[in-house]
Structures are given as C-alpha cells and as structure tokens.
Amino acid sequence: MKKIIALNTSSREKNTYTLLKRIETELLKQEIEMNIINLHHFEIKYCKGCELCITKDICPLEDDILKINQLLIEADGLIFSTPVYMENLSGLLKTFIDRNCKWFHRSPLIKKPFLAVSTTMSSGLKPTLKYLETVATRWGMVPCGSISRRLRTFDKPISERELSSFIRFVKNPKKIFQFISPSKTINFNVQKALALNLFEIDKLYWEKHGLDDKNYYYKAIADPFTTILGKLLFKTISKNIKQNDQKI
C-alpha cells in the first residue's frame, strides 16, 4: 500500500481538517494510506535567516523539524493543507517552508506527487494555492492540482477529477510525465545555473542526482521555444557568474 503524508495547519481542526479526512476516505478506496500530521503538535521555531542550511547543510535550531522532514522524505506523496489567513497560507505552514529554505537549492522531495488543499470562509484561495504550487515546483515536486472549498461549497463531495492526477502518480511514479509551463522551464534553468556555479555543496548535490544533465526535475515536455530560451538563459547566467568570479 502506498503511503502519503498530509500536513495540517488548522489549529482548530475544523474545515481544513475535515476536508483532509474526506480526502483520506477517497484515497483509502484506492489503497493509499494517508497519515495526517498536525504541525501544531510539534515544536517549529522561526527561521533566523543565518543561511547555514544553504551553505553548510546545518541548522543551529533544535526542534522537531528534522523529525517531520524525515516523514515527508519517506512518503510516496505529499499534501500541504492550510486555511486561508489574510488572503494567504497560515503562518505556521509558512514557517515550516521557511525552515526548509535549503530545499530550494537541494530538495530531497524531487518527483514526489503533490496536492494543495485549502479552505476559506470567503476569499484568498487563488493566491494561497498558487503559492503552494510555487513551493512544490521549486522543490522539484510534481504538482497534481488542488482541492479547495469555500463556505458555500464546503459540503461538495470530493470528485474523481480532483484526485485523479495525484492518485495516478502516487500509484505509478514511473509514469510521471507532465507538460510544464514556460515559467517552470525558466525557473528550473535559473536554479540549475545558480546551483552549478555558486555553491560547491549545491553543485555536488545536483550532479549526484543527475540534475545537471536534465531539462527539468522529472520527465516533462515544454514548447520548443521555451526549451531553447531556458537553455540560453542557463548559459548566460552561468557565464555571468564565472565572469564576476574572475573579477573578484
């Protein structure tokens, strides 16, 4: 049985948590086991911005972040859920993402199917879900859509369409294949250029996982023009970094 982790950041365990439980029921029908982790039950300290995790792969803070991260790394798929607070995600989930800023450089979650879940009383779903997809993309995960509900649609059942991509890729990771947007192609090439030319620790990680020879984190297709533009951007940024290093 495939196993996934769902992060819950709803302290009251009401609408967002209830939506997660409904998703869990549907996933069990597909022989996918879901473990809901409530981040409020763990100690997660605020990031100090020291960047030691990026440059040295260490963090001076002692809390439960490594314990949570290991569960995510071992999972076959991931769900991040949050109620909408002030038109965006909860502060707790943002803190969790901040604490894993090194994953924007060296992600252990590459090719993991990802589903974003959110609820709101009125507005804010679009920017919240968009940000979660951006994080998933920058961490090399496979965005598989989102499930969201407003107050007036909260009782709407989970549809097969809402979970189809997530279920398909969780159960068959070898079949992961997507069409990626121009922005994703460009972002990958920017990250690739920075990883291979700025920090040795990033370069070694990208080379070890074969990312230095790839056009994207996983099997994907982009329009030809964007692919060419991405490669040109990679070469330009790499060249500029090397020229600046020589001047220094």
At 16, list the tokens.
């967002």
Count Cα atoms within 13 angstroms, Cβ side, for 29.
9
pLDDT digits (tens, 9 = 90+) for 197-246: 999 999 999 999 999 999 999 999 999 999 999 999 999 999 999 887 66
Query: What's residue 12's pLDDT?
Result: 80
pTM greater than 0.85:
yes
How do the residues of the chain divide into helix, strand and coil, expressed in percent and rounded to 5? 50, 20, 30
CA 157 distance to own-chain centroid: 25
pLDDT digits (tens, 9 = 90+) for 112-153: 999 999 999 989 999 999 999 999 999 999 999 999 999 899
At 142, list the tokens.
């496979």
Name which of 96, 102, 54, 98 is nearest 78 in CA terms.
Answer: 96
- Mean pLDDT, all residues of the chain: 95
Phi/psi for 116 (5° steps) reads -100, 135
